[in-house]
Amino acid sequence: VSAPAAVREPAWSPPHAAIGVGVLGATGYGGAELVRLLTTHPGAALLALGSRHQAGKPMARVWPSLPDLDLVLDDDPDDPGAWIDRGVAVVFSALPHGAFLARAAAFLDAGLRVVDLSSDFRLSTAEGVTYGLTEWCGTELDRARLVANPGCYATAVLLAILPAVTAGWWSGSPIIANALSGVSGAGRSPGLTTHFVECGNSAAPYRVGDEHAHLREIARALARVGQEGPVVFNPHLVPMARGILATVSIPLAAPVPLAAAQAHFATRYTGSAFVRVLDPGDLPETRHVRGSNRCDMALRLAAGGTVLLVFAAIDNLLKGAAGQAIQNWNRISGWPETTGLPVAGWSCA
Amino acid sequence: VSAPAAVREPAWSPPHAAIGVGVLGATGYGGAELVRLLTTHPGAALLALGSRHQAGKPMARVWPSLPDLDLVLDDDPDDPGAWIDRGVAVVFSALPHGAFLARAAAFLDAGLRVVDLSSDFRLSTAEGVTYGLTEWCGTELDRARLVANPGCYATAVLLAILPAVTAGWWSGSPIIANALSGVSGAGRSPGLTTHFVECGNSAAPYRVGDEHAHLREIARALARVGQEGPVVFNPHLVPMARGILATVSIPLAAPVPLAAAQAHFATRYTGSAFVRVLDPGDLPETRHVRGSNRCDMALRLAAGGTVLLVFAAIDNLLKGAAGQAIQNWNRISGWPETTGLPVAGWSCA
Amino acid sequence: VSAPAAVREPAWSPPHAAIGVGVLGATGYGGAELVRLLTTHPGAALLALGSRHQAGKPMARVWPSLPDLDLVLDDDPDDPGAWIDRGVAVVFSALPHGAFLARAAAFLDAGLRVVDLSSDFRLSTAEGVTYGLTEWCGTELDRARLVANPGCYATAVLLAILPAVTAGWWSGSPIIANALSGVSGAGRSPGLTTHFVECGNSAAPYRVGDEHAHLREIARALARVGQEGPVVFNPHLVPMARGILATVSIPLAAPVPLAAAQAHFATRYTGSAFVRVLDPGDLPETRHVRGSNRCDMALRLAAGGTVLLVFAAIDNLLKGAAGQAIQNWNRISGWPETTGLPVAGWSCA
Amino acid sequence: VSAPAAVREPAWSPPHAAIGVGVLGATGYGGAELVRLLTTHPGAALLALGSRHQAGKPMARVWPSLPDLDLVLDDDPDDPGAWIDRGVAVVFSALPHGAFLARAAAFLDAGLRVVDLSSDFRLSTAEGVTYGLTEWCGTELDRARLVANPGCYATAVLLAILPAVTAGWWSGSPIIANALSGVSGAGRSPGLTTHFVECGNSAAPYRVGDEHAHLREIARALARVGQEGPVVFNPHLVPMARGILATVSIPLAAPVPLAAAQAHFATRYTGSAFVRVLDPGDLPETRHVRGSNRCDMALRLAAGGTVLLVFAAIDNLLKGAAGQAIQNWNRISGWPETTGLPVAGWSCA
């Protein structure tokens, strides 16, 4: 090639030897995204996949979008021995809620590192368990043996409210957190709720008020930073495949100028490759983070300056699930946080 | 036909002579729905249609879904004389905001009854102008010469909050009204915002806080019932063709048991054919009111009983526009409120 | 109301006594559309509804879009006695394929008229059974005791090709009939195929070539008019709720000028309220027939005039199911063919 | 990290110095996908972007999905001098059809390599111009100064029919090529055709028969391999963001057993990383290639073995545009064909 060459920053190089990785519950949406991303992650050697219902089939048969993957699904193992023998050192679990709980001890005792995408350990206070909202984890994550990966809604809502409440701005009146989710958040098991003809052109609230499990996750995270108080959480299903948009109103104890709030949030997330505080006047949209591990957010004042509005958008399967799981693993492994993870989103989808 | 006959309630019969009707701005979504409904309304003789950009074309050419309509579009007239000569006695205006304002005097002075779907007169205090939120109009509507048909968002939000605030339940802390709209609410003029590839799989807030014009409508309606106070209004665009879902949180001055709130709402809307307070435990979804002039709503308590949540779903083009316009006209004309209007929605769409 | 009155054609008046109607399999999409349309049909008194899985529930609970319907679902009866006692004289069956077959004798022997929307009798040659492609039925329909309502694909394809093949234009080389269906065509039972996230943004062929049951229906209908020959049928699922678009290429035995073909089709369907042959240059789109019982079609010549292309669009739940069923019943009952059926489609959905 | 390491194949390493790349027309869907992919392409240093309408804006402002891109849009240059001074050696043009034609000489004379995604040079016979259907290019591509990147429809249809026609199987009777396209294929300029409410729940044929420009591309490609004959091409717009599904029927001169056809296609595409001939019984779906540069295809016999059906699915923006452009550039540059290009698709979108 005789074309003139341009100067370019050298890319980060992975360690000579990648780490052996296995995925439990690999055939759901979260699992399949884990597999897709780990396949091209320079530090990962994807060695084992598990599935309850599809064991024995090649993964590429269950997910024809992954044709170059040469792995056959195992029955999700209760005992990690066989996977360890194959070289697995890290396990991502995308099993349904409740399914990993009983397996955890065996996996941890065998010396595996675990990132669990279910809700099983999100409220846990056990030694070695870390709630993996990456941007708020600090050094605790480095010591984690099991990372409880946050729920998709909780991720968006907490990234939106933590800078404000840790600054002492919250009056203590109810925070109202409304959120919209794409249908992949409801999982891959068919039901009338996710039937195209039922949900495909409609909007529906569900488990509103204080009924959704993610509200307890949010409350727990607030308690961890010493902030307790009423939060109302209203999730809605809207007809998009991916994405969460959180619209949160925080009653303020005292006036905060918008520029100061904007500066505070921007400072808090400086250095966070995956959180972007938008310019004043802009608002996040889920299409801008689709396919990306980013959270975009924006601020507004309302009700005469007595309420701070925060809007946050994520891809529920990436920053809300598989992406944050890998981000947490990158941090644990000492690699650059963005390794194997897209900052850019898809132009359209 | 020899089949045995079943007893059946006789349907309402229209007057012998239908009333001549014209539609300004007939080619947008609201206009086209007016035309579709008026074509089969037993009390209407649809005689004239107007359009700024498509004048001279048959309506059935602009809207191939209406093939049996034998009307050519006029240039939207500034002077109603020619339409009156054709027999028009009532005019529905679906012109863009601002366009009917200058025409109004000529139309009213000529003795026409007008239902205006734009925002032009919604804040008006002029004699003979009525804000047409039908279920809250009372007898004032009977005397109306011009009905200012409410905005789609305002309709959903006001139907949701008025029973509570008129009962004195509101504490005066900010009401947070979030709402989701289908894309037809953005009108038929093409733009990047309504491009399928941009909005078709995404959720986006816009004109949030206090930026949307419908907030002034809501505030004005609250003032009319003697209730003033802060309201935060956050509209969002979601990828469905039709529908509005409002999720409103109302801070309570004192505890109200859910059963009492439920009973109060049900009583308030008793006799309203188009408002349905759902059974406890149910939540409205826009698919259930698609193609119907109904508003479905549901109640919840949250934040330890300090917040009343009201959820309301309407079809933005029907109860939020063309349907409510015809409902208002039915009331003015002394006909049954449901004449020519569907209570049932489409099974799917 | 002092408004001047306009002259208007008097509407058709129903018989004094409506006919008692029951619907089997009322909770699927076809059944629910039957119920919606029959509720406002001036000649029908809807008296009984059946369901296998939802018996005992009010229909308005299973279909919240139908709140004003005061009927509780029966277990789909094997014996029609109880329904006859309630006044049912006509039964529409929207049961799954195979389910009405065994019931038919009991229903017919009891003197009921039946319109069956399943495939069970579409190939039948039994006395009193009519294949109900309405525009091609002739007087045979008047004598029908059981109408086998055509399949949705077969309706679109046959309306498109019958004028050409009965004119002797077909060369006998394979007709290639490709078709696109909305997801409601796959029924309401949830499955991965109809999961929003799987089918919601994707296109997929299925049962192509000669695998789909509707091909046999098409072949049989061709045989009835003395035309046998190879037909290739390729159905595809595309992400819309309703609609079928058929794109058919017919090899010509000899050149036919486009104007002559256009005139022949228009003549053939003269007087058919529900078939519209579009102007030259126009093409049908499913959105234009959504919510309507119409079939829109258009013609083109291709391959140097050796191939006639016919494009046909219908609403799969109306002209392709519930609408045509009622159209057939209107014909049987001697009522105007359009009674209770929309010619106009929805402006948007 | 003390986790045990697994053996892993070393990834391909890019040359020390990446090649300087510029993109004309960078803000449309094809351009934005080029930018997204080139940003992480290990052999590319993306140095310059052009736009007619958005010049002066940061690309990350026009495409908020690309926040980490630090390039301001230039006015699409007529003269490449300034870009060459910045180090650009290769230009991808995603300008609208007709816009690059006049610029080409200046760009080529200045020594730049060009990949043009428009139709401007697809029928060209000029020296140094190659029609870049990669899998059928052979060594000609290595010498190309300008690659005319194929149209999206033409790519899917030609990959589907070339193995059959070059084997001498085509009878010469009309090939019927029907195809479905996602809406991004219609470009990013807003219009009623791409308005969500118009196209979002509907299917529509357009430019059917012999009206679409891609038909000439297909005919030209057939002529290049010595196969001329009638082809009917019927494109349709369906409501998905991305994807093309081609359904092609090829009349056979003599019977070909399905297994032989299957083997022949598989052999023809052996070694092609981006073409996958599916197992017998499977059919391609656009969701499986979404986000991937792959073409999935499948074969069937129909009409008693006289017709070969070929089904092919691609992502119109990748294998149908930006992906194939980069694939062509990889080949020209002597790099592995898959460099910077995804073989796997997104799990959902």
In degrees, rounded to 5, the angle at the alpha carbon of residue A218 between the alpha carbons of residues A217 and A220 is 65
Which distant-in-sequence residues (6+ apart) come within 8 Å of A85 by Cβ?
Answer: none
pLDDT of residue D58 exceeding 50: yes
* Overall pTM surpassing 0.80 (yes/no): yes
Q: Which residues of A touch D113 (CB under 8 A)?
A: 3
3-state SS, residue C163: helix
User: pLDDT truncated to tens, each residue of chain B (349 aa)?
Assistant: 333 344 334 444 555 579 999 999 999 999 999 999 999 999 999 999 999 999 999 999 999 999 989 999 999 999 999 999 999 999 999 999 999 999 999 999 999 999 999 999 999 999 999 999 999 998 999 889 999 999 999 999 999 999 999 999 999 999 999 999 999 999 999 999 999 999 999 999 999 999 998 999 999 999 999 999 999 999 999 999 999 999 999 999 999 999 999 999 999 999 999 999 999 999 999 999 999 999 999 999 999 999 999 999 999 999 999 999 999 999 999 999 999 999 999 999 9
Handedness of CA A40, A41, A43, A45 (dihedral sign): negative
AA letter at D172: G
- Catalytic residue annotation of A: 152
Counting Cα atoms < 13 Å in the Cβ hemisphere of A153 gives 29
- H/E stretch holding A37 reads helix A29-39
Tokens of A146: 């099991």
Contact C180 D180 (CB under 8 A): yes
B51-56 long-range contacts (CB < 8 A, ≥24 apart) are: B51/B25, B51/B26, B51/B27, B51/B75, B51/B76, B52/B25, B52/B76, B52/B95, B52/B99, B53/B27, B54/B27
- H/E stretch holding C29 reads helix C29-39
Q: Which residues of B touch D241 (CB under 8 A)?
A: 196-197, 200-201
Q: Which residues of B touch A309 (CB under 8 A)?
A: 208-209, 232, 234
Residue where the block lists tokens 């919604």: B122
AA letter at D334: G
d(CA D59, CA D71): 6
C113 sits in the region (left: phi over 0; alpha: psi -120 to 50; else beta) called beta
- Write the DSSP symbol of residue B345: P
pLDDT of residue C249 exceeding 70: yes
Tokens of B229: 């106070």
Contact D87 A7 (CB under 8 A): yes
AA letter at A78: D
Q: Where are the alpha helices (DSSP H) in C177-257?
A: 196-199, 213-224
pLDDT of residue D57 exceeding 60: yes
Q: Which residues pair with residue A115 across a beta bridge?
A: A92, A147
AA letter at C15: P
As a whole-number percent, the residues of chain C with pLDDT over 90 amount to 92
Counting Cα atoms < 13 Å in the Cβ hemisphere of B192 gives 8
- H/E stretch holding B58 reads none
pLDDT of residue D5 exceeding 60: no
pLDDT band at C11 (very low <50, low <70, confident <90, very high): very low
Name the minimum distance, in Å, from the CA of A271 to any CA of chain B.
26
Give the tens place of pLDDT for each residue, A133-159.
999 998 899 889 999 999 999 999 999
Q: CB C258: neighbour CB atoms within 10 A?
A: 13
Name the minimum distance, in Å, from the CA of D253 to any CA of chain A.
33
pLDDT at C15: 53
Q: Where are the beta strands (DSSP E) in D105-225?
A: 113-116, 129-131, 146-148, 175-181, 204-205
Q: Please, what's the b/e burial string for B52-72 (b: 16 or more CB within 10 A of its CB; e: otherwise)?
A: eebeeebbbebbbbbbebebb
Give the tens place of pLDDT for each residue, D73-111.
999 999 999 999 999 999 999 999 999 999 999 999 999
Find chains touching chain D: ≥3 CB pairs under 8 Å.
A, B, C
Residues on chain D bordering chain B, Cβ-to-Cβ distance under 8 angstroms: 29, 183-184, 188, 190-192, 194-197, 199-201, 239, 241, 349
Handedness of CA D315, D319, D321, D322 (dihedral sign): positive
Provide φ and ψ at C95, rounded to 5°: -70, 160
Compute CA distances B204 → A286, A311, B214, B235, C261, whole Å. Answer: 7, 10, 18, 9, 49
Report the candidate in A155, A151, A125, A129 with the shortest Cα–Cα distance to residue A140. Answer: A129
Give the tens place of pLDDT for each residue, A328-345.
999 999 999 999 999 999
d(CA A49, CA A36): 12
Name the minimum distance, in Å, from the CA of D30 to any CA of chain A.
9
pLDDT at B15: 53
d(CA B122, CA B124): 6
Rounded mean pLDDT of C87-113?
Answer: 96
Per-chain mean pLDDT for chain D: 94
pLDDT band at C6 (very low <50, low <70, confident <90, very high): very low
Find chains touching chain B: ≥3 CB pairs under 8 Å.
A, C, D
3-state SS, residue B75: strand
CA closest to A233 among chain B residues: B302
| Pairing outcome for strands C244-251 and C175-181 | antiparallel
DSSP string, A264-331: HHHHHTTT-TTEEEPPTT----GGGTTTSS-EEEEEEEETTTTEEEEEEEE-TTTTTTHHHHHHHHHH
Size of interface B-D (CB pairs under 8 A): 55
Q: How many helices (H) and strands (E) does chain D have?
A: 9, 14
Nearest to D201 among C198, C241, C247 (CB): C241
pLDDT band at D10 (very low <50, low <70, confident <90, very high): very low
Q: Where are the beta strands (DSSP E) in A94-199?
A: 113-116, 129-131, 146-148, 175-181
Nearest to A230 among B174, B303, B309 (CB): B303
Structural contact between residues B202 and A180, judged by C-beta atoms closer than 8 angstroms: no
Name the minimum distance, in Å, from the CA of B241 to any CA of chain D.
5
Contact D188 B194 (CB under 8 A): no
d(CA A175, CA A146): 30
Tokens of C40: 């406002």
Find chains touching chain A: ≥3 CB pairs under 8 Å.
B, C, D
Rounded mean pLDDT of C27-36?
Answer: 98
pLDDT at A13: 57
Orientation of helix A29-39 relative to helix A322-333, angle to 10°: 40
Report the candidate in D56, C289, D186 with the shortest Cα–Cα distance to residue B190. Answer: D186
pLDDT at B13: 56
pLDDT at A306: 98
In degrees, rounded to 5, the angle at the alpha carbon of residue C298 between the alpha carbons of residues C161 and D237 is 110
pLDDT at C5: 40
Tokens of B174: 């900010």
Which distant-in-sequence residues (6+ apart) come within 8 Å of A306 by Cβ?
Answer: A251, A252, A255, B174, B230
Residue where the block lists tokens 């053939």: C268
Q: CB D140: neighbour CB atoms within 10 A?
A: 11
As a whole-number percent, the residues of chain D with pLDDT over 90 amount to 92
Q: List, for chain A, all residue ranges whose pLDDT scores fall below the cut of 50.
A: 1-11
d(CA B101, CA B121): 8
